[in-house]
């Protein structure tokens, strides 16, 4: 969460290190799942595109929930 009050879509600054770490983490995670040597090393099995879509969808669902909470706080003036 970058701001407790303002929407993530209206913030003017960008954290390039955070974005880079997110991309690197996603690539490393997908590598461990889909590269046979690594998946055997970690004892994992590849997942289907549908399962991967569900996982990314659930992870992305957090953003609208928190944006909604921040909107309600701005609208009704309840700020911590």
Assigned domain for 6 exists: no
**Coil, helix or strand at residue 59:** helix
Residues listed for the chain:
80
pLDDT at 70: 86
Q: Is the pTM of this model over 0.75?
A: no
If DSSP states are collapsed to H, E and C, what string results for 25-57?
HHHHHHHHHHCHHHHHHHCCCCCCHHHHHHHHH
Who wins on pLDDT, 47 or 2?
47
Greatest Cα pair distance in the chain: 54
Assigned domain for 41 exists: yes
Assigned domain for 45 exists: yes
For residue 78, is pLDDT > 60? Answer: no
Domain holding 28, by residue range, is 16-76
What is the number of domains present in the chain?
Answer: 1
- Condensed to tens digits (0 to 9), the pLDDT of residues 32-76 reads 999 999 999 999 999 999 999 999 899 889 989 988 888 888 888
Assigned domain for 30 exists: yes
Assigned domain for 51 exists: yes
For residue 27, is pLDDT > 80? Answer: yes
């Amino acid at each position: 969460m970058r701001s407790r009050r303002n929407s993530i879509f209206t913030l003017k600054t960008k954290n390039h290190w955070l974005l880079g770490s997110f991309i690197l983490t996603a690539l490393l995670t997908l590598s461990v799942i889909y590269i046979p040597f690594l998946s055997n090393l970690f004892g994992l099995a590849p997942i289907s595109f549908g399962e991967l879509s569900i996982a990314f969808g659930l992870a992305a669902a957090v953003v609208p929930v928190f944006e909604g909470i921040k909107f309600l706080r701005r609208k009704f003036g309840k700020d911590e």
